[in-house]
Amino acid sequence: MMINDCAFVGETLIKYLPSYIDVVHLKRSRKFFDKTFKIAWNILRTKGDVYHFNYLLQDCYIGSKLGKRPLVGHAHGSDLRQSLNHFVWKRIVKHNLKKCDTILVSTPDILDAAKRYREETEYLPNPVDTSLFYPKPARDHKEKLRVLIASESNWDVKGTDIAIRALAKLKNEVEVFLIHKGKDFAKTVALADSLGLHLKILPVTSHENMNKYFWNADAVMDGFKLKALGMISLEAIACGRPVFNFVSSAYPSYKDFPLKDVDSAEKLAAAIKDLSPKLWEAEYAYLRKHHDSRLIAKRMAEIYERII
């Protein structure tokens, strides 16, 4: 049984799991009733051989308290980056880390936080759905580099202001697209205006249609605060586009990722100026080696079999 999801990781795993595994996926919205009483009722009345919880928050806690076993707790980022230090949520996250039969983390930057409570925590790279996200040829005869800021506007988490400041240094050489999403969207537009950077605003689209936004760009920007590759970066690379993202050299998992430690507007502007086809080729080689959905789903199936 798969409960909840994050960045469509659960859906992708289900899609590529071996055919002998039957999965019931219990999804929910962020509405209060959906994420409390309704999800509790659905967990209670559904039976499975293994219970896979995406996010170490209330869903996983409810499953544990209802006696569902075995439990896979799958951390995806903010549950360990922010909620583990939150005055309310930290008790729930710590409970889940200790009580689940297996703990998985989706990015290497949260591995140490989980290991403080569960030493045997495993890093499971995020799978990329290559039936949706696959390479298409780049545009020919580019007058300006077409750059898509694909993550939501969030200065604290995504560092969108860093992307804007870097692109403003190259404003005569780039054409910038921004998706109308995120708590800091208005601040981001205002900052761009103050720096003389024109933005072309795109409406929010579905996950299935994000590939069109990627294919329409020459390069994609994700985040510059979290030090790890997010799903936006992985899916953009899969679509054949080079990605700029803060990837920390401190994590061994990223040793063969070609562009690391881009954590300032100055470094980002310099990296854009140096852009060559070799960057995407190296990023794509990393993607194929570490984020192959079939291999990751096979490993997930092995984890299920082990804990059952």
Which helix (H) or strand (E) segment holds residue 263: the answer is: none
Interatomic CA distance for residues 72 and 103, integer angstroms: 6
Helices (H), 66-169: 78-81, 90-99, 111-115, 160-168
Q: How many other β-carbons are positioned within 10 Å of the β-carbon of residue 48?
A: 16
Per CATH, domain 2-127+292-307 is 3.40.50.2000? yes
Among 125, 76, 54, 114, smallest CA distance to 297 is for 125
Strands 51-54 and 25-26: unpaired
Question: Helix, strand, or coil here: 142?
Answer: coil
Can you give the pLDDT at residue 68?
Answer: 95
**Inter-residue contact 100 to 71 (CB < 8 Å):** yes
3-state SS assignment for residue 230: coil
Sheet containing 71-75: give its strands across.
25-26, 2-3, 51-54, 71-75, 102-105, 122-123
Structure tokens at 236: 């953009």
Q: Could you tell me which residues are beta bridge partners of residue 75?
A: 105
- Which ranges in the chain are annotated with CATH 3.40.50.2000? 2-127+292-307, 145-290
The reported pLDDT for the residue numbered 33 is 76
Its pTM stands at 0.94
pLDDT (0 to 100) of residue 38: 86
| 3-class state of residue 240 by DSSP | coil
User: Burial letters for 9-24: b for 16+ Cβ neighbours within 10 Å, e otherwise?
Assistant: bbbbbbebbeeeeeee
pLDDT of residue 276: 93
Separation between Cα atoms, residue 113 and residue 97, nearest integer Å: 10
Outline where the chain has alpha helix (H). 9-16, 39-45, 58-65, 78-81, 90-99, 111-115, 160-168, 185-194, 210-215, 231-238, 265-273, 277-290, 293-307
**The predicted structure's pLDDT at residue 18:** 95
CATH level 2 (architecture), domain 145-290: 3-Layer(aba) Sandwich (3.40)
Show the low-confidence residues of the chain (pLDDT under 50).
Answer: none
